[in-house]
Amino acid sequence: MKFSAPLKSDSIKIMLLGSGELGKEVIIEAQRLGIETIAVDSYNNAPAQLVANKSYTINMKNKNEILDVIRREKPTYILPEVEAINIEALFTAEKEGFHVIPNADAVNKTMNRKNIREFAAVELKLPTSKYEFVTTFEGLQNAALKIGFPCVIKPVMSSSGHGQSIARSKADLEKSWELAKEARGDASELIVEEFITFDYEITMLTARNENQTAFCEPIGHIQQDGDYIFSWQPMNMSETAKKRSQEIAKIITDGLGGRGIFGVELFVKGDEVYFSEVSPRPHDTGMVTMITQSQSEFALHVRAVLGLPLDFIDYGAGASAAYKAKGDTFNPVIDIQENVFTKTSFVRVFGKPQSHVGRRMAVALTFDKESSDKALQKAKELIENFKD
Ligand SMILES: Nc1ncnc2c1ncn2[C@@H]1O[C@H](COP(=O)(O)OP(=O)(O)OP(=O)(O)O)[C@@H](O)[C@H]1O
Ligand SMILES: NCC(=O)N[C@@H]1O[C@H](COP(=O)([O-])[O-])[C@@H](O)[C@H]1O
Ligand SMILES: [Mg+2]
């Protein structure tokens, strides 16, 4: 195997665009290799800014502000960490010779549900739910009638379930239409998806670079209001479904190309696997890998970016439970009970400077050599005792 270069860490600079909890762990992993790090976000004291060498607070949707920090800092690698980034800035940076991870086109495709869905379903011919795109309320009504109820309605640009809803009948559509407007991204166009009655859903974390593609064990998860609350690894699945999941993950990540880790989101029904969406970066459900793998998804992301080997060992089964704020405050204090600090469990507090109801603030991680179920049970119990 040939690697792109020996690691000369002092000559490498990584810039994160978006500095939340996932980026914070990426920065820590890069720092462990002696790499200079810069964290950019739209608010001060974002989690990754707390641990980076340097930070900038800018309007992430403004092309010039993004290009200004890139041209000033001249990072070796630019790592988008959130979806809401001015994409033209990334295309321009790439043209100027900067290395965007995994690449500007992949970021563009995945930040917009229309682009990624058409790429996956039409171009790559991957199985997905039935879908339609709409821009008017009348269009939504027609699409929902065509696809049938229940159906899932999402803004084409949004994440963590923002603006997403399930319409169970025609009467729900008005509410769905209004809700979609609240999305942070672009709510001018919506996707209407057939509701898949899956047995379970997984994230297939896939790390790739020019040398290698590596899969993590499948991660099962539970979502509430379109946002993850519990995840566990490994998800116990049939060999056929697992193989199919890896095949789909390989096709979509090869299709997008570039270096980095991807969170490939899949719905599984029997041995049938449907592609849902993909993050070209670490995935929230993948935080469980901080306790289950010798190299977490964050460490693998950094290694993939640097062209280093993507080999690691699995320690055993584990689970994660997200803690979401119950109140709205500045400088929130998260109250964590002593029972989290055991041989087989720990906590990561993100350090967000402000809480609002439902904002993810911390994660409890549990380990159980043999059983994901037991690890999940323990994580659920631990999170019950968190307060803010
Ligand atoms: N077509 C569908 N059928 C059934 N369930 C769905 C469908 N689409 C979405 N869901 C459910 O809603 C969850 C969130 O959907 P999706 O991943 O598209 O939203 P998101 O806002 O991009 O979330 P995130 O950014 O956290 O990945 C899915 O993980 C799944 O549980
Ligand atoms: N599903 C995507 C996801 O989990 N993204 C993670 O959440 C942060 C935003 O959190 P915030 O909304 O609390 O600022 C992002 O910066 C990223 O770390
Ligand atoms: Mg998702």
- Residue 360 known to be catalytic: yes
Query: Do 85 and 58 fall within a single domain?
Result: yes
Ligand 1 touching residue 226 (CB < 6 A)? yes
Same domain, 134 and 242: no
Q: Is 388 a catalytic residue?
A: no
The whole-number mean pLDDT for each consecutive block of 10 residues of the chain, a chain of 388 residues, reads: 55 96 98 96 98 98 98 98 95 98 98 96 98 96 97 91 93 94 74 98 97 97 92 98 98 98 98 98 98 98 96 98 96 92 98 97 96 98 94
Same domain, 166 and 284: no
Beta strands in 144-199 (DSSP E): 151-155, 165-167, 190-194
Q: Alpha-carbon distance 154 to 161, whole Å? A: 8
Domain containing 77: what range?
A: 9-100
Binding residues for ATP: 113, 154, 159-164, 193-196, 201
The reply to whether 132 belongs to the active site is no
For ligand 2, whether the C-beta of 23 sits within 6 Å is yes
Q: Does 213 share its domain with 227?
A: yes
ipTM of the complex: 0.97
Do residue 170 and residue 258 come from a single domain?
no
Is 109 within a domain? no
- Asked whether residue 159 falls in the same domain as residue 268, the answer is no
Summarize pLDDT for 95-105 with one digit per residue, the tens: 999 999 999 99
Say whether both 250 and 134 belong to one domain.
Answer: no
Ligand nearest to the backbone CA of 361: 2
Domain holding 158: CATH number?
3.30.1490.20
First to last CA, the chain: 49
Q: Which CATH number covers residue 250?
A: 3.30.470.20
Residue 2 is predicted with a pLDDT of 41
Does the annotation mark 118 as catalytic?
no
Please name the residue whose Cα sits nearest to atom 3 of ligand 2.
284
Strand partners, 355: 329
Decide if 376 contacts 221 (C-beta within 8 A): no
Q: Is residue 241 one of the residues assigned to a domain? A: yes
CB distance 345 to 365 below 8 Å: yes
Number of domains in the chain: 3
Q: Which atom of ligand 1 is nearest to the CA of 223?
A: 31
Question: What is the pTM (predicted TM-score) of this model?
Answer: 0.96
Give a yes or no: residue 95 inside a domain. Answer: yes
Please indicate, yes or no, if residue 3 is contained in any of the structural domains.
Answer: no
- Pick from 28, 82, 361 the residue to mutate for probing ligand 2's pocket: most ligand atoms within 8 Å of its CB: 82
Distance 201 CA to ligand 3 centre (A): 10
Helix (H) / strand (E) containing 65: helix 63-73
Phi, psi for 43 (deg, rounded to 5): -140, 155
